């Protein structure tokens, strides 16, 4: 706890930032007093998916940092460092979309872990599909 302010942390790629990302961040912010967001680095994405995000980490981090509901962003360099990030940024609550349901329960010893329902019918891949269909 920081001067009685509840800090929420969440992690994500936020590539081709869209409405589903915005709703997740706004709902996460409402669960506490300040929201910190770990933006997955380009190299982490490459390691995970064998391709780079469409927008680079600098662009993705700057967009998320400029949102009214976000207090601070940092780069998530490795999935294995989650516990260190939660401790370093003194998270009271970890929030993730429910596509990650159960995956982060191991951190319940250091913070509250909450999964929020994903916004339906929108994702980065769905957006790419919409663009492909229209052009």
Which positions touch ligand C2G (CB under 6 A)?
11-15, 20-21, 24, 40, 76, 79, 96-97, 99, 118-119, 122-123
Of the candidates 26, 41, 34, 15, the residue with the CA atom closest to the CA atom of residue 89: 34
96: Cα separation from own chain's centroid:
7
Q: Shortest distance, CB of residue 135 to ligand C2G, whole angstroms?
A: 22
Half-sphere exposure of 120 (CA within 13 A, CB side): 0
Question: Residue 3 or residue 58: which is nearer to ligand C2G going by CB?
Answer: 58
Q: Shortest distance, CB of residue 34 to ligand C2G, whole angstroms?
A: 18
Q: Shortest distance, CB of residue 3 to ligand C2G, whole angstroms?
A: 27
Question: Residue 57 or residue 76: which is nearer to ligand C2G going by CB?
Answer: 76
Q: Shortest distance, CB of residue 116 to ligand C2G, whole angstroms?
A: 6
Q: Shortest distance, CB of residue 27 to ligand C2G, whole angstroms?
A: 8
**135: its two tokens:** 């052009």
Question: Residue 6 or residue 119: which is nearer to ligand C2G going by CB?
Answer: 119
Give 9-66 as a DSSP string.
EEEE--TT--HHHHHHHHHHHHTSSEEEEEEEPHHHHHHHHSS--SS-HHHHHHHHHT
Give the Å distances, CA to CA, from 101 to 25, 49, 123: 17, 20, 17
Question: Residue 1 or residue 15: which is nearer to ligand C2G going by CB?
Answer: 15
Question: Residue 24 or residue 67: which is nearer to ligand C2G going by CB?
Answer: 24
């Amino acid at each position: 706890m920081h001067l009685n302010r509840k800090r929420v942390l969440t992690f994500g790629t936020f590539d081709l930032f869209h409405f589903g990302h915005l709703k997740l961040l706004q709902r996460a912010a409402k669960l506490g007093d300040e929201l910190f967001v770990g933006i997955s680095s380009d190299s982490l994405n490459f390691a995970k998916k064998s391709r780079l995000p469409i927008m680079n980490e600098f662009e993705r981090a700057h967009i998320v940092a400029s949102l009214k509901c976000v207090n601070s962003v940092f780069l998530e360099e490795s999935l294995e460092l989650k516990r260190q990030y939660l401790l370093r940024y003194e998270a009271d609550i970890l929030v993730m979309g429910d596509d990650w349901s159960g995956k982060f329960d191991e951190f319940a010893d250091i913070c509250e872990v909450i999964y929020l329902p994903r916004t339906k019918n929108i994702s980065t891949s769905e957006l790419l599909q919409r663009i492909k269909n229209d052009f």
